[in-house]
Structures are given as C-alpha cells and as structure tokens.
Amino acid sequence: MQLLIPRLQSWWLLWMATVITMAIVAASQLFTDRISLLLDRQATELLAADLMINSNHALPDNLRQQARELGLQTAEVVELRTAVFIDDEPQLVELKAVSSAYPLRGRLEKKKERLSEVITSERGPEPGEIWIDIKLADQMEQALEIGFQRLSANWILHFEPDRGGSLFNLAPRIMMHMDDLAATGLLVEGSRARYKLLVAGDVAAVADFKALIEPRLAESEKLQTIENARPEMRSALERTRMFFAMSIVLTLVIAMVAIAITARYATSRESTKVAVMRSFGISSRRLMRYYLMQFGKVWLLAVPAGLLGGMLAQFPLQWMLGFWFDSRLPDASATPYLLATVVGFVSLMGFSLPPLLRLIDIPPLQVLRPGSRRQTRAKFLGQTLISLLTLFVILLLIVPNMQLASWLFVAILATATFIPLVLKLILHGLNRIGPSRFWLKNYVLSRLLSQSRNALYVMSGFSLTLLSVLLISQVKDQLLMEWERQLPLDKPNYFLVNIPTQDVEALTRFLSDNAIPASEAYALVRARLTSINQQPLDQIEFDNERAYRMANHTFNISYTDQLPFENEIVQGQWLTASDDMQQFSVEEGLANDLGLGLGDRLEFDLAGSRFSATISSIRSVVWENFQPNFFIIGTREQLAQQPQTWLLSTYISEQNRPLLKPLLQLSPSVTLLDISELMQRVKQIINRASQALEFFFVFATLAAIIVLLSALNSANRERELEIALLQALGASRQHKRWSQVFEFVLMGLLVGFFAALFANLIGSVVAQRFFDLSFGFVPHLWISSIVSAILLITLVGSLFIYRSFSISPIRLLRS
Amino acid sequence: MEDCIEVSNLSKTVRAPEGQLMILQDINLKVKRGEALVISGESGSGKTTLLGMMAGLDTSDQGEVILLGQSLADKNEEQRAGIRNGRVGFVFQSFHLVTGATAMQNVMLPLELSGSDAAEQRALQVLSEVGLEHRLHTPVERLSGGEQQRVAIARAYAVNPEILFADEPTGNLDSKTGQQIIDLLFNLRDSSGTSLVLVTHEQRLASRGDRQIRMLAGRIDVDGSSAMSV
C-alpha cells in the first residue's frame, strides 16, 4: 500500500483536482447520456415507439417474432384513409386501428367533450370503442358508419403522440381497436392501407434489432426512427444537445484549470529536491521516469474515487430529474466511466508535463543560488504546445461536433492568452497612478504582480473558471429566454388547411372582421419530386435514410411574392429579384440533406403532369415559429394554375373559440388543425433543458470553489510569510486584515470584469454561430459577475486564511 | 546604562518525536541601550529561538522577557506587535523582502505602517546610507543577495529603531559580501546608537559585538565581553 502513495509534496491537491475532473466527466457524460436518451425517448414518442417499420402491405410475422426474441415490446397499427358516414353524410377520415399494446412510447390524451378535462391514457381504444378527432366533436352523439360497422364515438381523441406526416394534410382521425377492424370490411385486396409495426425496449436491443432487420427489409418496407422527427422537434432537440455539449466543456475547463494550477504547485514544491538530486548527478531522464511514476500513482488513486464520485452524483440527478421529467431515467452505458478514466489520465499527464519538464530542467546551481534558472524560448514553446495539445485532445474526446470543438479551443486559447496579458498591464497601470505611498494600494498590487505568488496565473485561471460558470448560467438563461421569445403566447395555435381557392377570401374576411390575427393565406400544391438535375430520383444515392425519406415524401409547394415571416435568404436571391418564371427557393436543411445548391434543377410530378425549375435561393426557416413554413416555394406564374388548396395560421383565443363553428360553416371542407399541443411539447423541451442545465451550474460552481481553494492553497505559504513579516514589522491586526481583504476585493473586481467581458463576447458569438439566436450587451451579467467574484473570493479567501493571522512571526526566522 | 531587554528564568519546551524537548533552559540576561550583543553557538543550540523570544516573535513556557520596559509575558500577539511597531527592526537570513515591490517601497513599508508622513524622504536617505541610491526603483528580486540584504538593513534602520535584531544576516551570502554587510550593520549601529542583537554561528563575528553569549544545548555557556571571549 505504501508503494502506491505518490512521493510528491501536496500530491493530495493534485489528486483532488483529478478526482473532480473525472467525477465531472463521468457525471456529466452519464447525465448527457441519460438526458440524450430521455430526449430521444421523448422524441420517439412521436413514433409512439423507439423504431417503426412502415409498409403498404401486412408485415410478415417473423419481424414480430425477432423483436420478441430480443426482449422487445411490439404493437401494431393499421392506417387507412376512408370515408365514414355520419348522419348519412360522407366524411373523409384517417382511420387508425391499434393493437392493445399501443402506444409503446408516450401517452394518449382523451376527453369526453370539446371543453371537458383531458384524461391521460396509457393505452388506445378498447375493443368496441371509437375515439374521434376534435374536428368531429360535434358528431359525438351520432352513429358513425365505418365500413360494415355502425358504432358510436366514446371519446374525443385529444392527443396522439405519433400523429406523423405534414401538418397540413391531415384528415380528421378516427381511432379504433385492431380487433374491430376486420369487421368493418375495409381491409380488402388493394386497400391503400399503411401497416406499421412499432418496436420499443432496451437501447442496445433496439439497435441489434435494427441491424438485424434493416438489410432484410423489402423495398416497400421502410424503417422509421427518430431521425424522421418533425423539423420543429428536431430543431429543439439539436439546440438542447448543443447546450449540453457546451456546458460539459465549460465545466471541464474549470476542472482542467484546477489540475493545471495544482500540478504547477505540486511541482514547484519539488524544486529543491530536484536541484539536490541534479547536483548529485541524477540524470534528467531518470528524474522524469521517477516523476511520471508519481503522477501515474496519483492517477491510479484518483480513478476509483473519481468514478465513484461520478456514480454517486447520479442519485441526486435521478431524484431531481425523476421528479422533473415524471419518468424513470433510462440506464446509462459504461462509456462515461471509460471516458472519465481516459480524460483523467490525459488531463493529469498533459497538464502536469509542462511544469514537470520545467522542474527536471532545474540546473544543479539552483542548490546554491535559488532563482538562478533561465528558460529558453524554445523550451517554453514546447511546454505550451503540450498543454494546448492536451486541451485539444480533451475537447475532441468530449465534444461530438468537430467544428464546435475547434471553435471552443480557439476561444479558450485566446482567452487564456489575453487575460493574463491585459491583467498584467492593468496592474502595472494601477501601480503607476495615484499617490506614491506604498501602503496599502501599492503593497497589494506588488503582491498580485509578484511572480512567486503566481497571482496572475491564479487570477487568469479563476477568470476562465468564472467565465465558464457565467456562460453556463447567465448566457444559458439569456439564450433560453431568447429561444422562448420565439414562441410567444399569441403565436398561431390553429392551422386552417384544405381551404378551397374560392373560400379563401370569405375566410380571411371573417377572421379580420372578428379581429382574429391570422397569417397570409398560402397556396399548397402537393407534388412528388421526380428528378434532380434530370437524374431520376430512384437512381440517386442519398447519404442517409432521412435524405431518402425527405426526397420521397409528398411536398407541399407554395408560391408567394413576399419572403415568408422569419425566413432569411442564405444563398442566392429571392424569387422576385429576377423575371425568370421557373425558380424555386429551397429550405436550407432540405438543401443540405439532399445536397442541393443554387442552379440545381428540380422536377415535380403532380397527378401525371410535370413541372420543373432551377433553385435560385436557399432559405433559413425558424421552424419553431409555427407559422406556415415550406421546404419549397416557387413562382406564382408557374404554380398558380396547378390544382391547389390553401392554408393559413391563426391565433384563436379561448374567448374566440365560439367563432370556430361559424368559421367552419363558411367552408365545410376546411380542416382545423390544433397545433397548441405540439407547441406545448417544444416549450416543454426548452423548460427541461433549462432545468437540466441548472445541474451543470451547481457542478461548475463547486468546481470553481475547488479552483479557488487550490489557488489559495498554492499561495498560502507565501501569504503566511507575508502576514508574519507585517507582524514582525509591527503591523496591527487591522493592517493585516485590510491588506488581505483589499487584495481579495481587487482580485474579485478584476476577475469579475474579465469573466463578464468574455462571457458576453463568447455568448454573442456562440448564440449567433451555433444557436441562431441573438445575444447583446447584458448589464446584469456584468453586475452579477463582478459582485459574485468579489464576494466569493473575499469570503472564501478570508475563511481560508483566517488561521494565518494567528501564525507566529517566528516562522520568518525558521523559513 | 538602562536595560532595553531583560530576560529572566526563560525556558522553552517543544514537542519532538522522542518526547518533550527543552530547547531553552533557565536563560537570564540583560541588554543595555546601545549595546551590541552577539549570540553565537552551534546549530540547534537555541540561539535563534532566544532571539525570537527576546523580540516577542514567540512566547515562553516559563520566565519573563521585558522588552523596552514592557513585560511580554501577559501580552497577546497584537499587543506585542504594538510594542515593536516603530521601535524594533529586523534583519533576517532569508531577507524576507516584499517581492514585486521596489527597494524604495520595501523601506517605506514599516515607516508607513508606523504612520510616518515623510516615509519617502526617510527611505531615500537610509537607502543612500546603505549605498543603494542607484537602485531605488529596482524591484528587489532583481537585486543581488548582498543588495537585497542591504535593502533589508535599510528597512530595519528606517524607523530609527531602539533595538535591531539580526538573525544570521550573512547566512545566505558569500564571505566577502557577508563581511560588507556586517560592517554596514555595525557602522549604522555606531552612528545611530541602536542596540543590536545579532545571532550568528560564525565565531569570528563574535568579536565585533560589545558582548558575546555562546549558547550550548539551550543554555548560556559563556556570557562575557567580546574581548574576554577572544
């Protein structure tokens, strides 16, 4: 056991910093792993499963069999568009028959009447039950003829998790149990039904199942996963993941600062020992081996504690998130522990190596003349390069996005270089201004400028730490606020779709007469993409399943002269900039997925008639704004003559709800689509992301306090000698206290200033670059940064050095 | 002549791995105003401990120290610092200068702590006396060992102390520089009339004082005039 104890002075501090780093990595990875799984699961609720196989024919039994063999749950769904008779009037509906296990993910919501309380249900209709869409709510009491069956509705279907497809082409839903479907006689040879097999269960088993069946699926059998989630949800989830990635990196930066500071401290305390050994003729290679072994021991001792710390952090997490998320967190994999072990090793060795190289480079002369060492520029650059490489490797290990990793690397590097330089300039400047008296201002400044104190290094480290904490807390709040601002309460909550051309004017007039806010009416031309640059679609190899699905879905193409609300041209020019009548404007995400660019020619098929145009612009779209958004927009000249329906979005408040009936009476074929549920779910994701990020804030703050403590500890011996000297020179208790308090306040002021400056700058860049959000000057960020830095450093610092005031000045004689 | 330090029946015990260790035992001595007392002895003989207790930097287990007419026995650290303030100077083996500050600033520190209004002029004067008028604004860490000890001596003399305690002031210096520092210390003592208590393990320096005490295992082995000891 004795052999395992590192022979390094103050090794326990380095050990603690490594333990914290590993605990942060393990906990945050376990955390993100689980949040990610949870978010995926929430997104999978859009499928009502983890995975879905979709076909136009009944799916073979062996698929079900294989899923069950892997311990997975299955459910079945059959969907078909059919006409039902309500009071002898035909009504086109989307009929959905579900097996008893449906839904495997998410919940259904039902209610008895239009305005009655919503009841959550784990399962779909029982045999003999019929649930109908809110649009059919008025028919609740009437008999419905579905095929050969005559049934009456039991519930209004308020929400179904997997209401897929485009928002704009949904006929009213009728849901029934699978056992009742056969009796309707609707499923006959040639029926245009969709057969779905839903699968859910353990993450690994789902992956195994996917890998097993994917190569064997027939062409008409399509595998559907979360990748095909709605754009609104996908965008929300991607932003959330980005927030997490950023928070982890920033928390980790704090932990790495702690390692760098403690490694420097531990090695500096070895300098006399090394100088003596060097004077005895011990080679630097042997010394290097010796110290690497000591650092190796520190790592070995840190592994169990760090992993245990990371694991224990799960319990409060489980408790907090279990409460918030109202669901059990999925089991995490072993990867976070492995990653924590690797990151612990890389950061300990990487950040210890530069001070270690400096240490073993000590000339034997140091024994006789302390401070006689001079380091060459080449060696300094070499050592700096090692630290940078370490930082980059860790970023690559942690951040999944290479672009974000590189950007963070540059940002950290610039900050870490800039802060000490400017700090030094400011301290020198302050030293020159004001009266020439030494006590108190200049005395404190000399302490902060003293090389032996490493105060500049410590202040820069702590600025970086606080900057990270600020970015996680304040910037997060601002970004989330801005994100949420994009979803104000009076955003549209209804889409009116399937509006015949002749009814558009009457409907818009009705809405404006009743002061109901509504968007412009957009035409919808439903067409399928047939070729890109004259190459038929079936001959094009797409990179991924999502691109394939996107290319093959039915597009709702619109035309308008005005660039729609919150759309921005990112490439090319808007349609009206040219007289060319054959132009398309394509949404950025679709263009990326299908590899489309300006000048590419797209051809569409609409019931046998074909039309084509070239892409003249690429647009960005804010999907979460719940305005009518389109993947493709063409010119009026080209599309106005095509068969079309219209849609518009509107905000109908609770008090305007009675107007819905007369509105629908104006155009009976119009479908009213309530999207407030979908909006609610996106808002829920934002809220959950915000709460989860609070947890990182706690982590980051704890790590920041450890940085502060290790920084204080690294200068403690010097500080004690200074206090003892003041005491020997006859300074009063007040003198001693003021010197320390003033120093802490000044440090806090400078640290707080720099942290706020960089948090604001980096926040703005990150907001624009990665989150498509704006982030300006935030005064309260500056105030909270400066005040918290002063309070934290002064309080923790004063508590930490409290005992130093009673240290006997006899130490001066003994040192 | 009046005594500025009076030590009676002073003993000090410390805890050691082998049990309680008595490092000072029944010390009695007096230092007169203006007297230069040299305390010598082997390493571990207790000479630095005795200096620390005479200066009120440490407390005793038994006995009493009267410094500048005030007993230190019932005084806490704050009160002892009050007695030293402006009346006692120190020169340490490791210099203990404020790094990051200039020679001037180091010398101004005790003056300003004692409330002097003319700290700058006095620092300038005393630094000139120790021969550092050309290094006034140099940060102390850029000075040589000998120069740093000169700054420390200037700092000690700046407040016109009644007593100056010097602990191995040449311990970190080569013999030539050490000799210069000792010359400087005694010259300043001669011109200012300050009492000097100097601790050294170098027997040859003992002859420079008015009186020498040789310590052996925590006791005063020899107490006599320097002429006698020579």
Interval B179-214: pLDDT, tens: 888 888 998 888 888 999 999 888 777 788 899 999
Kindly report the backbone phi and psi dihedral angles of residue B64, in degrees, each rounded to the nearest multiple of 5, phi listed first. Answer: -140, 145
d(CA A224, CA A546): 9
Residue contact A812–B48, C-beta within 8 A: no
pLDDT at A140: 65
The answer to whether residue A269 neighbours chain B at the CB level (below 8 Å) is: no
Q: Chain A: residue nearest B47 by CA?
A: A813
Task: Return the SS3 of A296.
Answer: helix
Q: How many CB pairs under 8 A join A and B?
A: 106
A622 and A702, same domain (yes or no):
no
pLDDT at A148: 80
Are B173 and B146 contacting, i.e. CB atoms less than 8 angstroms apart?
yes
Average pLDDT of span A345-364: 87
d(CA A281, CA A278): 5
Q: Which tens digit of pLDDT belongs to each residue from A744-783?
A: 999 999 999 988 988 888 778 777 766 666 667 778 889 9
pLDDT at A5: 77
Longest dimension (CA), chain A: 108
A71 and A11, same domain (yes or no):
no
> Which of B88, B92, B105 is the closest to A438 by Cβ?
B105
pLDDT at A532: 92
Is residue A661 in a domain?
no
Give the containing element (helix H, strand E) for A238. helix A231-268
A113 and A195, same domain (yes or no):
yes
Give the containing element (helix H, strand E) for A395. helix A377-398
Q: Please name the residues in contact with A155: beta carbons below 8 A apart, sequence gap of 6 or more.
A: A110, A111, A112, A125, A129, A130, A131, A132
Q: Of residues B126 and A468, which shows the higher confidence score?
A: B126
CA-based nearest residue to A157, from A201, A86, A107: A107
pLDDT at A169: 43
A472 and A543, same domain (yes or no):
no
A630 and A723, same domain (yes or no):
no
Average pLDDT of span A677-697: 65
Is residue A672 in a domain?
no
Mean pLDDT of chain A: 80
Q: Which tens digit of pLDDT belongs to each residue from B11-58?
A: 999 887 778 888 899 999 999 999 999 999 888 889 988 998 998 888
| Total of domains in chain A | 3
Q: Mark residue A388 as left, alpha or beta (left: phi above 0; alpha: psi -120 to 50; beta: remaining).
A: alpha
Q: Of residues A78 and A313, which shows the higher confidence score?
A: A78
Helix then strand then coil, in percent of chain A rounded to 5, is 55, 15, 25
pLDDT at A616: 93
Bridge partners, B65 (sequence order): B7
Q: Please name the residues in contact with A757: beta carbons below 8 A apart, sequence gap of 6 or more.
A: none
Domain extent at residue A645: 519-650
Q: B9: distance to nearest CA of chain A, Å?
A: 20
The band of A229, judged by pLDDT with boundaries at 50, 70 and 90, is: very low
Q: Is A158 a residue whose pLDDT tops 50?
A: yes
A142-146, A544-548, B115-119 — most confident range:
B115-119
Q: Residue A560 to residues A499, A640, A683: CA-CA distances in angstroms?
A: 17, 10, 30
Q: Residue B93 to residues A453, A718, B143, B201, B215: CA-CA distances in angstroms?
A: 21, 16, 16, 12, 19
Q: Which range has the worst mean pLDDT, A471-485, B63-77, B171-185?
A: A471-485
Q: Is B146 a residue whose pLDDT tops 70?
A: yes
Is residue A334 in a domain?
yes
Q: Is A167 a residue whose pLDDT tops 60?
A: no
Is residue A470 in a domain?
yes
Q: Is A92 a residue whose pLDDT tops 50?
A: yes
Q: Is B224 a residue whose pLDDT tops 80?
A: no
Q: B153: distance to nearest CA of chain A, Å?
A: 13
pLDDT at A233: 58
Q: What is the ipTM for the molecules in this complex?
A: 0.81
Q: Is A600 a residue whose pLDDT tops 70?
A: yes
A472 and A564, same domain (yes or no):
no
Is residue A498 in a domain?
no
A414 and A547, same domain (yes or no):
no
Q: Is A707 a residue whose pLDDT tops 80?
A: no
The band of A632, judged by pLDDT with boundaries at 50, 70 and 90, is: very high
Helix then strand then coil, in percent of chain B rounded to 5, is 35, 30, 30
Which of A176, A199, A224 is the last residue before a domain boundary?
A: A224
Residue contact A452–B108, C-beta within 8 A: no
Q: Which range has the worst mean pLDDT, A36-50, A82-96, A602-616, B66-80?
A: A36-50
Is residue A510 in a domain?
no
Q: Mark residue A626 as left, alpha or beta (left: phi above 0; alpha: psi -120 to 50; beta: remaining).
A: left
Average pLDDT of span A611-620: 91
Q: Taking an 8 Å Cβ-Cβ cutoff, which residues of chain B contact chain A?
A: 48-49, 51-52, 55, 57-59, 77-78, 81-82, 84-88, 90, 92-94, 96, 98-101, 104-105, 108-110, 112-114, 119-120, 141, 155, 167
Average pLDDT of span A80-90: 75
Task: Return the SS3 of A383.
Answer: helix
Whole-model pTM: value is 0.63
Are A708 and A789 contacting, i.e. CB atoms less than 8 angstroms apart?
no
Q: Which range has the worst mean pLDDT, A123-127, A286-290, A474-478?
A: A474-478
Are A455 and A426 contacting, i.e. CB atoms less than 8 angstroms apart?
no
What are the b/e assignments for A560-577, b being 16+ CB within 10 Å? beebbeebebeebebbee
A183 and A322, same domain (yes or no):
no
Give the containing element (helix H, strand E) for A299. helix A284-312
A586 and A708, same domain (yes or no):
no
Q: Chain A: residue nearest B101 by CA?
A: A446
A214-218, A739-743, A801-805 — most confident range:
A739-743
pLDDT at A1: 58
Are A747 and A455 contacting, i.e. CB atoms less than 8 angstroms apart?
yes
Which of A204, A224, A244 is the last residue before a domain boundary?
A: A224
pLDDT at A786: 93
Residue contact B78–A733, C-beta within 8 A: yes
A605 and A562, same domain (yes or no):
yes
User: Can you read off the two tokens belonging to residue A144?
Assistant: 């419905």
Kindly report the backbone phi and psi dihedral angles of residue A229, in degrees, each rounded to the nearest multiple of 5, phi listed first. Answer: -60, 165
Q: Is B3 a residue whose pLDDT tops 80?
A: yes
A369 and A244, same domain (yes or no):
yes
Q: Residue B202 to residues A613, A761, B38, B48, B229: CA-CA distances in angstroms?
A: 101, 63, 10, 14, 14
d(CA A401, CA A245): 9
Is residue A414 in a domain?
yes
Which of A650, A672, A695 is the last residue before a domain boundary?
A: A650
d(CA B120, CA B100): 18
pLDDT at B230: 35
Q: Is A38 a residue whose pLDDT tops 90?
A: no
d(CA A675, CA A672): 10
> pLDDT exceeding 90 applies to what percent of chain A?
14
A535 and A448, same domain (yes or no):
no
Residue with tokens 């006859």: A730
User: Can you read off the two tokens belonging to residue A324?
Assistant: 């918030």
Mean pLDDT of chain B: 87
Q: Is A7 a residue whose pLDDT tops 80?
A: no
Residue contact A438–B86, C-beta within 8 A: no
- Mutating which of B94, B138, B168 best tests the A interface, going by the most A Cβ atoms within 10 A? B94
Is residue A491 in a domain?
no
Residue contact B98–A446, C-beta within 8 A: yes
d(CA A258, CA A465): 9
